């Protein structure tokens, strides 16, 4: 195999596929990228079994030649080293040449590297063909679906199902739900496809796909029994689904609330941030005290002292109420709403409370209070 390629395009392809390659791998061959040149162009593939990414570079695009002086073939080469080389070479083009299936030469007009490579037959077979139920989401919709929910998924492996983003489609709606049992984020969108399915996609993989959307207009997603496959223009991403039944979260959102607070999101975030300086003893726990006369955010430390922040602009309905919560959870929920003002709805002091964007009822956040006595 041999080709000369625009360095910028080659580096972009290596970087995209390399996102699926782990720093350490139980199967050593997965430390490599598969580089394959055929009649269509250059395919670069990376995998760690949890996620597989294949990206494509054409011979030319919009009349501009990208790959020239080529001979078809395939090889496996260390992902980190080839990417570092492509990043640090300064020429506009790189020549890649595989000699006798065991040595790859990477060179420009100044530098030359000779790297050991592996026969492509050593790479595992990957299922990167769409199958099952398919939907199409615009880039903007997919981004909002992920950024407004995935952060609430668990990052701990004790309950693997909670590391997933639960996707459920029915009656022209797609609902995404994430929870780590202390908080929940839910987003509902309209879809054109008349489909019905439930899929538990690893939340971190949804975030990974979202990072690859630059320049992509739409995301084509295919769900089968064991995998989700995302097609993004020149790139395909496949991930295993998380096995198991997702917790029933349909009744978590309270139907009746006794207290509501509407406040400027920026003002509240700043007040929480300042008060949080003294939440050392209670692991980012702050108190929100509300009445018709005033709203205060406070925190205290038995060793350092206390802090109180008063919110001047607010609208509160209900009797006096004091709620303690994890400030990181509330901060993340407010930022995910993406609104100028945020509305809180409370049932009581120790009941999960709701955070909403008054102008967008497609997304809802739930946070469980913290007991401080």
pLDDT tens readout for residues 22-46: 888 788 999 999 999 999 999 999 9
CATH number of 133-240: 3.10.150.10
Which band of pLDDT confidence, cut at 50, 70 and 90, is reported for residue 191?
A: very high
At residue 148, the pLDDT reads 97
177 has a pLDDT exceeding 80 = yes
User: What mean pLDDT is reported for the chain?
Assistant: 94
User: With respect to CATH, is domain 2-122 assigned 3.10.150.10?
Assistant: yes
Residue 201: closest CA among 189, 210, 192: 210
Domain ranges of the chain: 2-122, 133-240, 259-367
Average pLDDT over residues 234-259: 94
How far, in Å, CA of 297 to CA of 301, rounded?
A: 14
At residue 371, the pLDDT reads 86
- Quick check: pTM over 0.75? yes
Average pLDDT over residues 44-53: 95
Which band of pLDDT confidence, cut at 50, 70 and 90, is reported for residue 373?
A: low
Average pLDDT over residues 162-172: 97
Lowest mean pLDDT among 70-74, 167-171, 278-282: 278-282
Q: Which CATH architecture has domain 259-367?
A: Roll (3.10)
Fold matches, 133-240 and 259-367: yes
pLDDT tens readout for residues 79-113: 999 999 999 999 999 999 999 889 999 999 899 99
């Amino acid at each position: 195999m041999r080709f000369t390629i625009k360095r910028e395009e080659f580096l972009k392809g290596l970087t995209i596929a390399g996102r699926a390659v782990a720093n350490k791998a139980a199967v050593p061959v997965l430390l490599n990228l598969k580089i394959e040149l055929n009649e269509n162009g250059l395919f670069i593939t990376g995998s760690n079994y949890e996620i597989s990414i294949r990206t494509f570079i054409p011979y030319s695009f919009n009349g501009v030649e990208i790959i020239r002086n080529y001979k078809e073939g395939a090889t496996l080469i260390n992902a980190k080293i080839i990417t570092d080389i492509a990043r640090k070479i300064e020429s506009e083009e790189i020549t890649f040449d595989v000699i006798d299936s065991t040595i790859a030469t990477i060179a420009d007009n100044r530098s030359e590297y000779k790297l050991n490579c592996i026969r492509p037959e050593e790479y595992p077979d990957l299922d990167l063909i769409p199958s099952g139920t398919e939907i199409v989401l615009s880039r903007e919709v997919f981004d909002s679906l992920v950024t407004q929910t995935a952060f609430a998924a668990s990052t701990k492996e004790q309950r693997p199902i909670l590391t997933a983003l639960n996707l459920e489609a029915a009656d022209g709606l797609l609902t995404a739900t994430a929870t780590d049992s202390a908080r929940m984020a839910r987003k509902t969108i309209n879809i054109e496809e008349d489909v019905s399915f439930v899929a538990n996609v690893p939340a971190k993989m949804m975030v990974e796909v979202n990072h690859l959307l630059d320049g992509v207009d739409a995301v084509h997603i295919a769900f089968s029994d064991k995998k989700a496959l995302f097609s993004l223009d020149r790139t395909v991403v496949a991930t295993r689904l998380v096995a198991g039944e997702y917790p029933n979260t349909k009744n978590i959102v309270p139907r009746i609330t006794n207290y509501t607070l509407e406040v400027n999101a920026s003002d509240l975030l700043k007040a929480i941030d300042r008060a949080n300086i003294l939440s050392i003893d209670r692991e980012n726990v702050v108190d929100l005290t509300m009445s018709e006369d005033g709203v205060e955010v406070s925190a205290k430390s038995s060793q350092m002292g206390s802090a109180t922040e008063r919110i001047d602009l607010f609208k509160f309905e209900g009797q006096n109420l004091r709620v303690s919560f994890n400030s990181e959870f509330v901060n993340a929920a407010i930022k995910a709403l993406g609104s100028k003002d945020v509305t809180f709805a409370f049932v009581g002091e120790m009941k999960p409370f709701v955070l909403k964007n008054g102008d967008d009822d497609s997304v809802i956040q739930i946070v469980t209070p913290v007991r401080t006595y």
